[in-house]
Amino acid sequence: MHRFQTIIEPFRIHSVEPIRFTTLAQRSARLAEAGYNLFALHADDVLIDLLTDSGTGAMSRDQWAAIQHGDESYAGSPSWYRFEAAVRELFPFTHVIPTHQGRAAEKILFSVIGGPGKVVPNNTHFDTTRANVEYTGAEAVDLVIAEGKDPACLHPFKGNLDVVALEALIAARGAAAIPAVFVTITNNSGGGQPVSLANLRAVRQVCDRHGLPLFLDACRFAENAWFIHEREDGQRGRPIKDIVRDMAALADGMTMSAKKDGLANIGGWLAMNDPELAARCRNLLILTEGFPTYGGLAGRDLEAIAQGLEEVVDEQYLRYRIRSAAYLAEALERAGVPTVRPAGGHAVYLDARALLPHVPPLAYPGQALAVELYRQGGIRGCEIGTVMFGRRPDGSEAPAAMDLVRLALPRRTYTQSHMDYVIEVVTWVAARARELTGLRIVDEPPALRHFTARFTPLTPAP
Ligand code: F0G
């Protein structure tokens, strides 16, 4: 039998949502009003919204049906039991604590285990994770392997944590200062790159030697499992669920944003085996999120997530999902646009520092490129670079490790022709990259400045 090669969207469209077209002049005006910060735009002025893959996906027919089963009982809702069972089917941790999204889980956990003098290693902290660690006075240290910091370097598991560096950190700071070791799967801030099972095992061994707990920031666990399935020796052909369970079995707990691989628009959880830690976290949960059988969520949200967790480990879905990012990345590569390679799971990351060598990091090449993609094509991406990470806790400013623009792909939302349009716009802007100039920040908050900072374009050099 002939095997057809085209990987198609494994769904057909059931309900459609219009997108709004604007003119170049309108977008230029919106940019000025927004202080050149794409987070300040009205979303209906955006044509293709690749700002984030978080909470922006399309839910399935079965998720919408599950919502009708939502039971809003304050305590002991059947929706909670369905949610808990769905989480524990994949991540069999003893204690599951629902939160309204990932950062709420982080806030609760780090409030309990963080604090001055503490150090939290991670392959790469996501911005809210870093902020939640630092907010407690603890230090967040990124220990991704060297390959993971070089956009052009090809490596199957660029998200891996450098275990030699982890050993060195433990030797330098002492195990007592490290409340947990984190591994982010996939490594979002490092390009959506996966972590191998072998690396998780190696990290586990280091943790065991020093009596340290290992936590997963598991937002994109299914995408990570698919990369393991495709790239790691001996894993091809294994059920995705089994690979997920293998990852879970190596950890002592997790934080999760169900807005990613929960296929839901809101939600998250914190899970762990340690009963004392769980009790302390639940006490904070009640203070800030809600009763332990709903956290910050409605019963209907718990249902949508439970259904999403069944759908996200489907092979047809994951094959299509990972192919979508690769399709975009390969076309841009053919067009000579520098990207983080290989393509990540949920996004394609443009290497703005390589594309705009004439714009120094402190003039924010990533922001300049992101602004121009919106101005020219109505595409909204997100700077992941010096704007996001350049301001240090001591108030100084320094270039981030990379200056990237992330084009994140909402799940099951855009079609291949939308991506063809994105390819055309990015290629056009990249061909004129030399004409772009940097920006200056005119106003910024003390932390997480990328969300609300206002910029002004630097005047073009004569
Ligand atoms: N950890 C990682 C790796 C993430 O990517 C995110 C969110 C979070 C934690 C926090 O989860 O948003 O539910 O509070 N990432 C989104 C993004 C916002 O655009 O990458 P949350």
Would you state the structure tokens that stand for residue 121, as one six-digit string?
A: 């290693």
Is 461 buried (19+), middle (13-18) or exposed (0-12) by CB count in 10 A? Answer: exposed
Residue range 182-224, pLDDT digits in tens: 999 999 988 899 999 999 999 999 999 999 999 999 999 999 9
Q: Is the CB of 215 under 6 A from ligand 1?
A: no
Strands 48-49 and 454-457: unpaired
Residue located nearest, by CA, to atom 2 of ligand 1: 126
Predicted confidence at residue 189, as pLDDT, reads 85
For the chain, list the domains and their CATH numbers.
24-53+314-457 (3.90.1150.10), 61-311 (3.40.640.10)
- pTM given for the model: 0.95
- Residue from 378, 382, 365, 267 nearest 42 by CA: 378
Instruction: Answer for the pair 271, 93: CB distance below 8 angstroms, yes or no.
Output: yes
Closest approach atom of ligand 1 to CA 220: 3
Alpha carbons 52 and 380: distance in angstroms, whole number? 9
Ligand 1 geometric centre to CA of 25 (Å): 33
Instruction: Answer for the pair 330, 336: CB distance below 8 angstroms, yes or no.
Output: no
Closest approach atom of ligand 1 to CA 187: 3
Alpha carbons 288 and 28: distance in angstroms, whole number? 41
Q: Is the CB of 54 under 6 A from ligand 1?
A: yes
Residue range 62-105, pLDDT digits in tens: 999 999 999 999 999 999 999 999 999 999 999 999 999 999 99
Greatest pairwise CA separation for the chain in angstroms: 68
- Within 90-246, strands assigned E span 95-99, 119-122, 139-142, 181-184, 214-217
Predicted confidence at residue 460, as pLDDT, reads 61
What 3-state class would DSSP assign to 121?
strand
Residue range 273-297, pLDDT digits in tens: 999 999 999 999 999 999 999 999 9
Alpha carbons 64 and 67: distance in angstroms, whole number? 5
> Which of 99, 128, 135, 451 to mutate to test ligand 1, by most ligand atoms within 8 A of the CB atom?
128
Ligand 1 geometric centre to CA of 54 (Å): 7
Residue located nearest, by CA, to atom 9 of ligand 1: 102
Asked if pLDDT for residue 461 goes beyond 80, the answer is: no
| Cβ burial 152-181 (10 Å sphere, 16+ → b, else e) | eeeeebbbbbbbebbeebbeebeeeebbbb
Alpha carbons 347 and 345: distance in angstroms, whole number? 6
CB neighbour list of residue 340: distance below 8 Å, 6 or more residues apart: 151, 191, 193, 348, 349, 351, 402, 404
Predicted confidence at residue 448, as pLDDT, reads 84
Phi, psi of 129 (to 5 degrees): -65, -50
Alpha carbons 34 and 43: distance in angstroms, whole number? 12
- Residue from 173, 175, 229, 179 nearest 206 by CA: 175
**Banded model confidence at residue 350, pLDDT cuts 50, 70, 90:** very high
Q: Is the CB of 122 under 6 A from ligand 1?
A: no
Q: What is the mean pLDDT of the chain?
A: 96
Asked if pLDDT for residue 343 goes beyond 70, the answer is: yes
Q: Is the CB of 127 under 6 A from ligand 1?
A: no
